Amino acid sequence: MTSFYFTLFLSIAATVALWLYARRRPVGKTITWGEAFLGGLAVFAYMLLIYALLPNAWLQWCTGGLRWRSDKTGIPLGPLHHWKVAYGKNNHLFTLNLLRNNRKYLGFIPVDKGVLWPKGITFFGRGKLAVNAQTIQDVGATLIYVVALGVHFKGWLWWQKRGVGKAATPELPRSAYGRPLVRKV
């Protein structure tokens, strides 16, 4: 858990740091050999962080601490099912219990022992979709890759378009009433 949160924080901090540096760099300034080497090293370290370390930390946390395996059917809620904030030995500040009075449903979703849809998702008696914890783990890793790739592409597009101004729209002639003329009469 600690390694995942640390790499997540490091990824966000590196993204912000690269964006802040790129924002203050002049558009037409030539680059020296040393700057190019350091820039390439920084981008390589950033890519290593978001495409290797962050998903690995997520997968290690899911298989290790959370014990999300293929034999655990349903979507695990993790700490959101019954969360206690403690101080001292036997005292706690508050308890967040999503299932008040230990009901077995959260709205219309069946819940049992911190797992949504513990027997699979049924479609009105016409079929069942068995979702296990390892599937959710893999979906989480895929979402990390998709978000990282989206941020990466957005950063590339922003860097390429950073000196280009918006095209000025020509002013339309106005009528005697102050409205723009769309067509010639």
Q: Which tens digits make up the pLDDT trace of 87-117? A: 555 655 544 455 554 556 656 666 666 777 7
CA distance 6 to 12: 10
> Per the structure block, which two tokens stand in for 31?
């680059």
Range of the domain at 90: 73-131
Residues 43 and 79 in one domain: no
Per the listing, tokens 């959710």 go with 136
CA distance 79 to 48: 29
The residue among 48, 78, 40, 39 whose CA lies nearest residue 62 is: 78
**What is this structure's pTM?**
0.69
Q: Look up residue 11 and give its DSSP letter.
A: H
Residues 57 and 42 in one domain: yes
pLDDT-based confidence at 83, cuts 50/70/90? low
Residues 127 and 139 in one domain: no
CA distance 104 to 110: 6
Residue 108 in domain = yes
Residues 54 and 141 in one domain: yes
Q: Tell me the mean pLDDT in the region 24-47.
A: 91
Range of lowest pLDDT (3-12, 106-115, 132-141): 106-115
When divided into structural domains, the chain yields a total of: 2
The residue ranking higher by pLDDT, 14 or 102, is 14
Residues 1 and 67 in one domain: yes
Residue 166 in domain = no
CA distance 124 to 128: 9
Residue 183 in domain = no
Residues 122 and 148 in one domain: no
